[in-house]
Amino acid sequence: MPGYDFYAAQLRFVAARTDRESTDTIAMMDALQDFAAKVEKSSRFDIPGALARTTGRALAGVAGFLQQHILPETVAAGNGSAERQVRWVIDTSMELTATLTVHAETVTDGTPCEIELPPPPEVG
């Protein structure tokens, strides 16, 4: 979905910059790549129940990375549109982390977790 291309791009950016040094990290970066592909197609999609925890951890990592490294630079540059997108990605990723973590803890039969992205930020 064109309105979320920025989200997919930021997810892929973090996945590409992360060293794949352990099996857990590899699984999380693969989950980010899969998540990004789904984001490009639709604002509503499912995450397999077996991947809910891994995907949630990966999204938390994205939020942390952006908040620590990218947001300060964006704010300092004075680019309001970019700042809104980065803040949206941080907030949305943390909300989805909570949704996926709760799903992983409470739904044990493998049922997929339904994801619906909030409207993208206004830019311009």
Print pLDDT tens along the chain (124 aa): 458 999 999 999 999 999 999 999 999 999 999 999 999 999 999 999 999 999 999 999 999 999 999 999 999 999 999 999 999 999 999 999 999 999 999 998 999 999 999 999 987 6
For the entire predicted model, the pTM comes to 0.94
The confidence score (pLDDT) of residue 123 equals: 73
The residue ranges of every structural domain in the chain are 2-116
DSSP H stretches of helix in the chain: 5-17, 23-41, 52-65, 71-77, 80-106
Q: What is the CA radius of gyration of the chain?
A: 14
| Single-letter code of the amino acid located at 46 | D
